Copies of this chain bind each other. A is one copy, B any other.
């Protein structure tokens, strides 16, 4: 069997022991909160990860692209929510995935224009597309306000259309990523819950169905006091964790399951610099840790087993295929291998087509594939 000492670098490494602990923790949270867990697969993008993440749950998943929807549907997942606002140019593909695999592919929209486009679409007879109305719970990205007069118009348009099905309401409290404390996250979680529950109540008061009441972000899923009135949650990045989530308090650095294996390609003690062959593509150019670290930092550098942080080295710059380690590099050697724990797991993983699996050691126990692109 191969080992982290001999595979090609850069490579994506997934610690399955840490993954399983992270999955178990969120599954417990879902039970505790009495909601279904519909994990967001935008981070893992892998049927193997999805099977482990949905174990003991209702089986639904969330996806970020229609390529993922097709990939998971073909792998046997039968209840898939595509979380990015749907547009008319994608109706045919949604119907095709559903028709070919029998999976339910739920779409999301937040405007009467999009609802009307779906209602007017001449899709396959007898196969209405289930649609969730996206509610803005404070992030002010997508979504209609829960108290917006237009909410009921969208809901009625979907409910009355033969080609659509009013599936419920959903929201994403992405602003939980900006919180400075657990107390702030608790407050955002309650705002997220309250927004979507009040939207659901408005629909029901108007005689409309609202079977699904969906929330979702890793920080709010972990810190919500309760989710009364909610039916499901859709966190994603909790599976792997990352530096940014650790800084937010969503996990500990010893929970981080995803890392990049890199090789030192140059050591320049006089410059206080070493170069690794993991740069902006292998790690992403995510800058979310700048504010935490106080200067640019593209990942946390560890020894090959991933156990010991090399705190004297800052991964302070990336070019396309070069990572710059600044600090005292005298202990590094050309050819040496290191592990880098990424700032943002979703962005980093997206550059690789598979995971090398390890379990708290450098021996590789297997590989899992990933779906990328669109």
* A88 CB-CB contact with B under 8 Å: yes
* Contact indicator per residue, chain A 328-350, by CB within 8 Å of chain B (1) or not (0): 00000111010000000011001
| Chain B residues, CB < 8 A from A88 | 335
Q: Are A87 and B335 in contact (CB under 8 A)?
A: yes
Interface residue count for A (Cβ, 8 Å)?
61
B321 close to A111 (CB less than 8 A): no
Flag if B285 contacts A111 (CB, 8 Å): no
Could you say which residues of chain B place their CB within 8 Å of the CB of A204?
none
A90 to B324, CA, bound (A): 20
Out of B87, B110, B268, B273, name the residue touching A263 (CB < 8 Å). Answer: B87
Closest to A353 in B: B373
**Chain B residues, Cβ within 8 Å of A273:** 140-141
Q: Select A265's contact among B6, B42, B64, B142, beta carbons within 8 Å.
A: B142
**Interchain CA distance A319-B175 in the complex, whole Å:** 12
Contact string, A274-285, partner B, CB cutoff 8 A, digits 1/0? 010100111011
Whether the pair A285, B282 counts as a contact (CB closer than 8 A) is no
Return the CB mask of A60-86 against B: 1 if under 8 Å, else 0. Answer: 000011100000000000000000111
A161-174 CB mask vs B (1 if < 8 Å, else 0) is: 00000000000001
How many copies, total? 2
16 A-B pairs besides A64-B320, A86-B265, A114-B335 with CB distance below 8 A are: A8-B374, A42-B321, A84-B277, A87-B263, A87-B334, A88-B335, A111-B266, A113-B335, A140-B268, A140-B271, A142-B275, A174-B319, A281-B350, A285-B286, A287-B287, A320-B346
Mark A residues whose CB is within 8 Å of B: 6, 8-11, 42, 64-66, 84-90, 93, 110-111, 113-114, 117, 140-142, 174, 263-268, 271, 273, 275, 277, 280-282, 284-287, 319-322, 324, 333-335, 337, 346-347, 350-353, 372-374
Question: Can you give 30 contacting A-B residue pairs, CB < 8 Å?
Answer: A6-B89, A8-B374, A42-B320, A42-B321, A64-B320, A64-B321, A84-B321, A85-B265, A85-B266, A86-B265, A87-B263, A87-B277, A87-B334, A87-B335, A89-B263, A89-B337, A111-B267, A140-B271, A141-B324, A142-B265, A142-B266, A142-B275, A142-B322, A280-B284, A280-B286, A285-B347, A320-B346, A320-B347, A351-B351, A353-B373
